[in-house]
C-alpha cells in the first residue's frame, strides 16, 4: 500500500510522468545519491528502489522478477578509440524488455501524460495493434508491430469526433517530449511502429532513464542475485 503520494516531495522518487511535481523532483535532484558510505546491500537496495520507481512502477516485485532476464547482450570495447566510441556498461539494458510493453510504447510515443494514463488507454480499448484492438497493457510488441491510438483518447487533443482536433500541450510537459530511437511515430494518424529492442550504442544509452549506468548496474546485481 502506498503510504506517501506518488509524486511525494519528501521521497522525491522520479516517475514516468509529465506531472509538474515530478519535473520539480527531477530538476532538484541533479546528482545521483551518495552511495560511498553505504554497505553493498544498501547500495543495491537504493539503486533498485530508485530505478524501479521509474522503470515499471506499476509492476509488483513478483511480476518484475518474472519479466527480468539476467542475460544481456554484451558488446566488447576492444576496438573503441575514445570515450565517445566506448559502449556504456551493458547493465543500462536491464530494463530494456519493459520497453516492449504496450503501455510503455504509448507513453514513449507521447500519446499519454503518464504510464498510468497510458495503461488506462490500453485497458479501455483505445489502442490497436496491427489493426486489431489490444486491451492488454502487458502485451509485448514484436519488431515491426504498428500500435495505433484513437485520437479522441489523447489528452492533448480536443475537439469533435471525426474532425481534425486542436492540440494544446500540457503545462510543464515539454521537458519530457522526445522520441526514443527504437520507435517511429506518425502523429498524423497517432500510430507508432516498434522497430527493435533497445540496444547498446557507443557513447550513449537508448533507453530514456533518469539514472546513470552505475545505478542500473547495482539494480541489475540485486535482481540477478535474487533470481
Partner 1 sequence: MLPSSVHAFRLGASKPACQRIAPFAFRSFNASAFVADEKEPETPEANGEQASSTEIENAEVEPIKLSRRRRKFHEWANGEGKRYKEASQGTKNYLGQTPFPMNPLFKPVLPLSNAIREKIFQQYTSDPTTWTVRKLATEHNISLRRVDAILKLKAQEKQMESQGFPLQSKFLKGMEKLIGVQQSDRNLTEPLIHIQPEVKKPKYQIIDEDSDFTPEASVNNDAAKVLNRKAFSEVQKSQLIEELRAKGDKWKAVEQEKTQVLPAQNSKETNKRFGFLFVDTSVHGKKEPMVRQADGTLRSAQTTEYAKKMIRY
- What residue ranges bind partner 1 (CB under 8 A)? 9-10, 20-21, 23-24, 26-32, 71-75, 88, 92, 110, 143-144, 146, 151, 154, 156-157, 162-167, 169, 171-181, 184-191, 193, 195-197, 199, 203-205, 207-213
Pairing assessment for the beta strands 191-194 and 127-129 based on DSSP bridges: unpaired
Burial class (CB in 10 A: 0-12, 13-18, 19+), 104: buried
Nearer to partner 1 among residue 104 and residue 211 (C-beta): 211
Q: How many helices (H) and strands (E) does the chain have?
A: 6, 7
Please say which residue, 42 or 186, places its beta carbon nearer to partner 1: 186
* Closest distance to partner 1 from the beta carbon of 87 (Å): 10
Using CA atoms, how far apart are residues 135 and 121, in angstroms rounded to an integer?
8
Q: Give the nearest distance from C-beta 41 to partner 1 in angstroms.
A: 22
Burial of 32: CB neighbours in 10 Å, binned 0-12, 13-18, 19+? middle
Residue with cell string 502487458: 138
Nearer to partner 1 among residue 138 and residue 179 (C-beta):
179
Nearer to partner 1, 61 or 181 (CB): 181
CA-to-CA distance for 227 and 211, rounded, in angstroms?
A: 23
Task: Please state the closest distance from residue 137 (CB atom) to partner 1, in A.
Answer: 22
Closer residue to partner 1, CB minimum distance, 54 or 222: 54
CB atoms under 10 Å from CB of 220, counted, come to 25
Q: How many CB atoms lie within 10 A of CB 214?
A: 16
Q: How far is the CB of 62 from partner 1 (least distance, A)?
A: 26
- Min separation Cβ 159 and partner 1, Å: 9
Amino acid at each position: 500500500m502506498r503510504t506517501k503520494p506518488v509524486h511525494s516531495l519528501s521521497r522525491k522518487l522520479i516517475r514516468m510522468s509529465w506531472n509538474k511535481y515530478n519535473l520539480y523532483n527531477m530538476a532538484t535532484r541533479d546528482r545521483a545519491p551518495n552511495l560511498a558510505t553505504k554497505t553493498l546491500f544498501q547500495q543495491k537496495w537504493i539503486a533498485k528502489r530508485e530505478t524501479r520507481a521509474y522503470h515499471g512502477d506499476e509492476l509488483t516485485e513478483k511480476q518484475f522478477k518474472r519479466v527480468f532476464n539476467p542475460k544481456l547482450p554484451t558488446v566488447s570495447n576492444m576496438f573503441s578509440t575514445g570515450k565517445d566510441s566506448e559502449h556504456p556498461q551493458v547493465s543500462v539494458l536491464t530494463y530494456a524488455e519493459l520497453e516492449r510493453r504496450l503501455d510503455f510504447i504509448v507513453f514513449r510515443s507521447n500519446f499519454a501524460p503518464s504510464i498510468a494514463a497510458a495503461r488506462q488507454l490500453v485497458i479501455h480499448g483505445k489502442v490497436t495493434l496491427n489493426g486489431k484492438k489490444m486491451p492488454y497493457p502487458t502485451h509485448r510488441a514484436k519488431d515491426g508491430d504498428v500500435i495505433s491510438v484513437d485520437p479522441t483518447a489523447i489528452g492533448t487533443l480536443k475537439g469533435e469526433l471525426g474532425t481534425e482536433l486542436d492540440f494544446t500541450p500540457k503545462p510543464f510537459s515539454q521537458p519530457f517530449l522526445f522520441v526514443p530511437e527504437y520507435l517511429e511515430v506518425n502523429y498524423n494518424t497517432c500510430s507508432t511502429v516498434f522497430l527493435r529492442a533497445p540496444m547498446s550504442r557507443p557513447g550513449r544509452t537508448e533507453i530514456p532513464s533518469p539514472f546513470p549506468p552505475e545505478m542500473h548496474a547495482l539494480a541489475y546485481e540485486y535482481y540477478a542475485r535474487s533470481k
